[in-house]
Amino acid sequence: MILSDRDIRWYIEKGLLKIEPLYSDTIRENGVDLRLGTKFCRFRASGKIFDTSTSWENLNEFYDCVDVEEGEGFIVHPYEHVLATTMEYIGLPDDLVGLVNVRSTFARLGIFVPPTVIDAGFEGQITIEIIGSAFPVKLYPGQRFLHVVFVRTTTPVEKPYKGKYQGQRGVTPPKPD
């Protein structure tokens, strides 16, 4: 079942769902809008091969991260793959899952965010992948960029998320299993 705005407010009021900071326009009809944070990571084009069985200690050779001031903006180049973070820190109880989508305004510009699931029990800022449009697009920290729909599980999950990204702040690059 997808939560309505009333359900979302109830979860927040009971302290079961955490969204900090919570703005007056965050809660929508059937989900929440999250804002872009100030940290972006751009992958570098290179002839190097990243070997997922051995290269994890050299991962930082493949990307650069920057902090962007709110009014400054960050340009996503055509078809470029970047990582970004949300401004909000969220915490899900063990009976909610979040389904993350880019807001339609940005999707209509050709910006793509691959399917992202926020697991029950997760807590932290959300690191998202952004794929650029056919033309450069300038994004700004603080813009409402994502829409998250919360789905209630039929029963609380037996093992809430306690993985390697728990408690993350800022952009978190991939970590090995």
Catalytically annotated residues: 129
Query: Contact at 8 Å (CB) between 62 and 113?
Result: no
φ and ψ of 140, to 5 deg: -125, 135
Query: Contact at 8 Å (CB) between 164 and 122?
Result: no
Query: Contact at 8 Å (CB) between 122 and 168?
Result: no
**Residue ranges in 92-155 assigned as alpha helix (H):** 104-107
Q: Cβ contacts of residue 47 below 8 Å, gap of 6+?
A: none
Task: State the Cα–Cα distance between residues 141 and 144, nearest whole angstrom.
Answer: 9
| Residues linked to residue 117 through DSSP beta bridges, in sequence order | 99
